[in-house]
Amino acid sequence: MKYPEALNKLIESFQMYPGIGPKTAERLAFFTFFKLKDEDIVRFSQNLLNLKTDIKYCSICGVLTDSEKCQICSDPHRSNTILVVESSRDVNVFDKTNQYNGRYHILNGLISPLKGISPNEVNLKSLFKRISYEVPEEVIIATAATVEGEMTAMYIKKQLENSRVRITRIGYGLPAGGDIEYADEITLIKSLEGRRDM
Amino acid sequence: MKYPEALNKLIESFQMYPGIGPKTAERLAFFTFFKLKDEDIVRFSQNLLNLKTDIKYCSICGVLTDSEKCQICSDPHRSNTILVVESSRDVNVFDKTNQYNGRYHILNGLISPLKGISPNEVNLKSLFKRISYEVPEEVIIATAATVEGEMTAMYIKKQLENSRVRITRIGYGLPAGGDIEYADEITLIKSLEGRRDM
């Protein structure tokens, strides 16, 4: 017994996503058929189509935005510190803390020789250009504590060696609420390296 | 900092599904933007639109199908036993076992006074009509071991009291590989009730 063609096709579409296996895709397709209103399905379909056409990258920082220049880059009240992150999602995470009032630069990727991603394929050129004319007080690098994150941070540091701008990296170590017992070695090493006077 | 409108809309669409919270919806929307090919997005969008227009219910058993009459109902080699299940997904599950060669009847729901689902809103009328002219050897009720499943089974049993057809219910009890230690009470009670001579 096979499912109807239209159902199988939708199941396939859901399966394109990481973390969605055959069973989950089936569940989602059935939910679409039995529980969603026709107008919600049409809207979902339309939202998919509009995604790539309606979204732009900010011409300054590279964040995903509706307009040529994003909200943050257009805000004159922000300090000229630049926080360098991997993706637009990271911007949201930092901005929600309400502890950072500077600007951002989004790499839209990380350097990775393993995956064949060279510095040219990451939004770096515009970062260096930007630093040269904005002359920020500080460039904070907030890439992940992974091989690619480290490599990208080192690359930026090296390229800016001769500039007079202060370059820092966010602290790495034990997460809030984290139990030492369950922390991995690398995290503990980072937490020792990042120790501060009390 | 807000996400672009088009991204937020897609996030909202993903959030319509059970089990997909804000974080997962965000991850899926970002994946759509950064990782899916344009043609895959267009196909996904189209598959959503085609879903409701291209799928029919089999006029005999109620399973989801491409045609007026499903594969199984069109198959002359199947026995005339009827296995009553809640949904089209259950048909697939039973059919994969290769141990059942009869026909099916799909209720597309279960009777539930709590959710306000009366017998009329479940695909039952066609079952009774079908039984009266197909005169099956046996009607096997395979609804879930839940309040609604029980209630629906009892209702069917009662409606067919005066017919001469044999009515059975699938066995309930400890699942294969299940540890008694971890089984819930109801399952254990059912397994006692369903005991058989060795």
Would you state the pLDDT for residue A194? Answer: 78
Would you state the pLDDT for residue A190? Answer: 78
Check B10 against A48: CB less than 8 A apart.
yes
Nearest to B54 among A6, A28, A49 (CB): A6
Would you state the pLDDT for residue A95? Answer: 85
Q: Which domains does chain B have, with CATH numbers?
A: 5-54 (1.10.8.420), 64-193 (3.40.1360.10)
Cβ atoms of A53 and A47 closer than 8 Å: no
Question: pLDDT over 70 for what percent of chain A?
Answer: 99
Judged by average pLDDT, the poorest of A46-55, A188-197, B22-31 is A188-197
Stretch 60-79 of chain A: residues touching chain B, C-beta under 8 Å? 63-66, 70-72
3-class SS shares of chain B: helix, strand, coil, % to 5 = 45, 10, 45
**pLDDT average, residue stretch A152-167:** 91
Question: pLDDT over 90 for what percent of chain A?
Answer: 64
Task: Check whether A109 has a pLDDT greater than 70.
Answer: yes
Would you state the pLDDT for residue B72? Answer: 93
Would you state the pLDDT for residue B161? Answer: 87
Note the pLDDT tens digit of each residue in A161-191. 888 899 998 888 878 777 777 778 888 787 7
CB atoms near residue B88 (< 10 Å): 26
Which residue carries 């141990």 as its tokens? B99
CA–CA separation, A142 vs A85, rounded Å? 5
Check B64 against A4: CB less than 8 A apart.
yes
**Which residues in B lie closer than 8 A to residue A70 (C-beta atoms)?**
1
Stretch 29-48 of chain B: residues touching chain A, C-beta under 8 Å? 29-33, 36, 38, 40-48
How long is chain A?
198
Task: Check whether A50 has a pLDDT greater than 70.
Answer: yes
Residue partners of B162: CB distance under 8 A and separation at least 6:
none
Note the pLDDT tens digit of each residue in B109-118. 999 999 999 9
Angstroms from A86 CA to nearest CA on chain B: 13
pLDDT band (50, 70, 90) for residue A46: very high
CA–CA separation, B66 vs B45, rounded Å? 20
Would you state the pLDDT for residue B24? Answer: 95
Check A70 against B1: CB less than 8 A apart.
yes
**Which residues in B lie closer than 8 A to residue A40 (C-beta atoms)?**
13, 16
What is the arrangement of strands in the sheet containing A103-106, beginning at the earlier edge strand? A103-106, A82-85, A138-141, A166-169
DSSP state for residue A110 in the 8-state scheme: -
Structure tokens at B192: 């006692």
B34, B110, B138 from B160: Cα distances, Å:
57, 17, 12
Would you state the pLDDT for residue A25? Answer: 96
Q: Which residue of A has its CA nearest to B64?
A: A4
**Which residues in A lie closer than 8 A to residue B30 (C-beta atoms)?**
87-89
Would you state the pLDDT for residue B198? Answer: 67
Note the pLDDT tens digit of each residue in A114-152. 999 999 999 999 999 999 989 999 999 998 888 899 899
Each residue's pLDDT expressed in tens, for chain B with a length of 198 residues: 789 999 999 999 999 999 999 999 999 999 999 999 999 999 999 999 999 888 999 999 999 999 899 989 999 999 999 999 999 988 988 888 888 889 999 999 999 999 999 999 999 999 999 999 999 999 999 988 888 998 999 999 999 988 889 999 888 887 877 777 777 888 878 777 777 766
CA–CA separation, B77 vs A19, rounded Å? 40
| Contacts of A67-70 spanning 24+ positions with Cβ under 8 A | A70/B1
**pLDDT average, residue stretch A23-37:** 94
Angstroms from A162 CA to nearest CA on chain B: 33
Check B64 against A88: CB less than 8 A apart.
no
> Is B8 an 8 Å CB contact of chain A?
no
3-class SS shares of chain A: helix, strand, coil, % to 5 = 45, 10, 45
Would you state the pLDDT for residue A198? Answer: 67
Structure tokens at A172: 């790495």
Q: Is residue B85 within a helix (H) or strand (E), and if so which, with residue range?
A: strand B82-85
Angstroms from B71 CA to nearest CA on chain A: 7
> Is A9 an 8 Å CB contact of chain B?
yes
* DSSP string covering A173-192: SSPTT--GGG--HHHHHHHH
| Contacts of B114-118 spanning 24+ positions with Cβ under 8 A | B114/B147, B115/B148
Note the pLDDT tens digit of each residue in A84-108. 999 998 898 888 888 888 999 999 9
**Complex-level ipTM:** 0.80
